Amino acid sequence: FTERGRLDLRQAQSVQDNRDQIITDLSWLALDIHQYRLLPRQMSGGGGTYLGYGPPREMSKTDDASYSVAVKDHEVAIHAQSTIYPSASVEVTVDTTGRLVWWNYAGEFK
């Protein structure tokens, strides 16, 4: 390897590490979102809907990304903006079953 090759490899690994961590965070956030939907309103849940959901404070911004949600009755769109690579982001939707669908990668994550 040349020095340039090593630097390119380190950069690619760093981008992939950040993307992987964001995907992990999105999985945990999807779990939290779906649990909210399943919990009755008396237990601070959505009672069968996602309306009223807000991400936990510790999940709004991490070392890897900031997360925002757009809530609809039967789905939640999540936008994750990398804090390490400002042009890189991931958008995904949590469906009624709690699955992450409609993935979209931007910037260095493409």
What's the mean pLDDT when you consider all of the chain? 95
Mean pLDDT of 47-65: 94
Tokens of 26: 């999105």
Q: How many CB atoms lie within 10 A of CB 46?
A: 20
The pLDDT score that the predictor gives to residue 93 is 98
Q: Confidence band (pLDDT; 50, 70, 90) for 1?
A: low
How far, in Å, are 5, 34, 45, 48 from residue 38 at the CA level?
49, 6, 7, 6
- Residue 87 has a pLDDT of 96
Contact 89, 81 (CB under 8 A): yes
Confidence of residue 89 (pLDDT cuts 50, 70, 90): very high
Kindly report the length of the chain.
Answer: 110
> Is 79:89 a contact under the CB 8 Å cutoff?
yes
pLDDT tens-digit series, residues 31-41: 999 999 999 99
Q: Is 90:22 a contact under the CB 8 Å cutoff?
A: yes
| % of the chain beyond a pLDDT of 90 | 94
Q: Hey, what amino acid is at 75?
A: E
Mean pLDDT (whole number) for 13-34: 97
- Edge-first strand listing for the sheet containing 100-106: 65-71, 76-82, 89-94, 100-106
pLDDT in tens, 72-83: 989 999 999 999
